[in-house]
């Protein structure tokens, strides 16, 4: 099957393209910073103009839409960018799919759609009240997909990613420097000998720091693969939503301890102010994904931390080796 992947050069996109390519799909890669890689037969610079979409959507069987602007804090400061990129851009892509009669669409949504759920556990059927423009941009797209399913018969799966982390277990892909989530950033800054600031210490949690659910990037790629399989082989039409997480919540201070226990690093941390728009606790209930998509995460927090560290260590070793050759 021919699958178009947006955000194909990014952290999640690269891992997804690798998995889908190994699973036998023919891939078209699209990204604002698109680079050619071995997984995509065709590649395009991210542009949702009619002329470009007429070319890149030709004979496509399914679209996997990962590309987005995706930081909570900056979305509060610059909501225009998030609504333009994540809502208006996605609407153009959906209309391109409608024009080319593409009936299958997988969307990379987010746990940010939940806002502050009661008890911190996120169920797909619960009411949603995002706390920031990033979360609203994802929720708006989910609503659009539901409307497109009803009006145009475009079947979709929205996957609400929780905190995606870790690196490819074969060390072929990982996050680049200057990643923003706590595991990658904590490892990177500690390796550089820098102090790390945790965002907030007065949340309504046992240790005062916010709690999140972490899921390995390979497990997310597998979840996208299962979503594609569902759209092709299930008789359930319409717009569907599933959580992808580990069902376990860890506080920021527990993440610091996990880095200490699974790497040789000894982070130096302090607690700073909380970010605007940050809920206290977000943990996935993955019952629907387990039962309907037949998806279960393979990797735990220890593996997430170990692979993230090994990836940054590999990158640093390459930099040292290259500098010694000069």
pLDDT of residue 178: 62
Q: Which of 223, 244, 265 is the last residue of a domain?
A: 244
What is the per-residue pLDDT across 38-61, written as a single tens digit (0 to 9) for each? Answer: 899 988 887 777 788 889 999 999
3: pLDDT strictly greater than 60 = yes
| 41 inside domain | yes
pLDDT of residue 321: 47
317: pLDDT strictly greater than 80 = no
277: pLDDT strictly greater than 90 = no
Indicate the SS3 state at residue 88.
helix
Query: Where are the alpha helices (H) located in the chain, listed in sequence order?
Result: 11-22, 50-56, 72-77, 79-82, 89-99, 133-152, 182-191, 217-233, 252-262, 287-288, 301-325
If you search the block for the tokens 């939503």, which residue do you land on? 241
| 274 inside domain | yes
Q: What is the mean pLDDT of residues 227-253?
A: 96
In a shared domain, residues 110 and 188: no
In a shared domain, residues 203 and 292: yes
**CATH number assigned to the domain comprising residue 97:** 3.40.50.720
Is the pTM for the entire model greater than 0.75? yes
In a shared domain, residues 232 and 272: no
Tell me 231's DSSP state.
Answer: H
In a shared domain, residues 80 and 43: yes
Q: Which of 244, 264, 294 is the last residue of a domain?
A: 244
Numbers of helices and strands, H then E, in the chain: 11, 14
| 226 inside domain | yes
| 90 inside domain | yes
Pick the residue with more confidence: 75 or 188? Answer: 188
In a shared domain, residues 134 and 234: yes
In a shared domain, residues 83 and 220: yes
Residue 77: both structure tokens together: 């400061």
**152 belongs to the catalytic site:** no
In a shared domain, residues 205 and 139: no
pLDDT above 90: percentage of residues in the chain = 75
The dihedral region occupied by 247, where left means phi > 0, alpha psi between -120 and 50, and beta the remainder, is: left
Residue 126: both structure tokens together: 């619960």
Q: Which of 244, 265, 296 is the last residue of a domain?
A: 244
| 283 inside domain | yes
82, 134, 225, 299: the catalytic one is: 134
What is the domain range of residue 192? 182-210+247-321
In a shared domain, residues 60 and 199: no
Q: Answer whether 89's CB lies under 8 Å from 66's CB.
A: no
Beta-carbon contacts of residue 24 (< 8 Å; ≥ 6 apart): none
What is the per-residue pLDDT across 107-151, written as a single tens digit (0 to 9) for each? Answer: 999 999 998 888 889 999 887 889 889 999 999 999 999 999 999
In a shared domain, residues 13 and 140: yes
| 177 inside domain | no
Nearest to 203 by CA among 129, 271, 258: 271
289: pLDDT strictly greater than 50 = yes
In a shared domain, residues 223 and 266: no
Beta-carbon contacts of residue 148 (< 8 Å; ≥ 6 apart): 94, 98, 105, 154, 156, 239
As a whole number, the mean pLDDT across the chain is 91
CA atoms within 13 A on the CB side of 212: 23
| 174 inside domain | no
pLDDT of residue 324: 47
**CATH number assigned to the domain comprising residue 291:** 3.90.25.10
Beta-carbon contacts of residue 56 (< 8 Å; ≥ 6 apart): 4, 28, 30, 42, 44
Beta-carbon contacts of residue 161 (< 8 Å; ≥ 6 apart): 12, 108, 109, 110, 111, 215, 220, 244, 245
Residue 298: both structure tokens together: 């393979």
In a shared domain, residues 138 and 196: no
Give the total number of structural domains in the chain: 2
| 175 inside domain | no
In a shared domain, residues 109 and 239: yes
């Amino acid at each position: 099957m021919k699958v178009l992947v947006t955000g194909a050069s990014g952290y999640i996109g690269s891992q997804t393209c690798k998995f889908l390519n190994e699973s036998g799909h023919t891939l078209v890669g699209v990204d604002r910073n698109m680079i050619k890689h071995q997984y995509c037969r065709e590649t395009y610079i991210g542009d949702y103009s009619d002329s470009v979409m007429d070319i890149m959507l030709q004979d496509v069987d399914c679209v996997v839409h990962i590309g987005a602007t995706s930081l909570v804090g900056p979305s509060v400061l610059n909501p225009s960018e998030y609504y333009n990129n994540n809502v208006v851009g996605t609407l153009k892509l959906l209309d391109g799919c409608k024009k080319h009669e593409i009936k299958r669409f997988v969307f990379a949504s987010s746990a940010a759609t939940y806002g502050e759920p009661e008890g911190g556990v996120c169920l797909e059927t619960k009411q949603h009240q995002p706390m920031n423009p990033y979360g609203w941009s994802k929720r708006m797209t989910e609503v659009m997909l539901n409307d497109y399913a009803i009006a145009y018969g475009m079947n979709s799966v929205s996957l609400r990613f929780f905190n995606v982390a870790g690196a490819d277990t074969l060390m072929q892909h990982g996050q680049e420097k200057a990643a923003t989530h706590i595991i990658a950033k904590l490892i990177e800054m500690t390796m550089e000998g820098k102090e790390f600031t945790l965002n907030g210490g007065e949340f309504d949690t046992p240790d005062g720091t916010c709690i999140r659910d972490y899921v390995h990037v390979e497990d997310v790629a597998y979840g996208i693969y299962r979503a594609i399989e569902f759209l092709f082989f299930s008789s359930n039409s319409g717009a569907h939503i599933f959580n992808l997480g580990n069902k376990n919540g860890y506080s920021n201070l527990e993440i610091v301890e996990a880095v200490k226990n699974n790497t040789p690093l000894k982070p130096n941390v302090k607690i700073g102010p909380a970010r605007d728009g940050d809920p206290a606790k977000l943990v996935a209930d993955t019952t629907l994904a387990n039962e309907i998509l037949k998806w279960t995460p393979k990797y735990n927090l220890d593996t997430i931390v170990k692979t993230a560290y090994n990836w940054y260590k590999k990158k640093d070793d390459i930099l040292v080796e290259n500098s010694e050759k000069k």
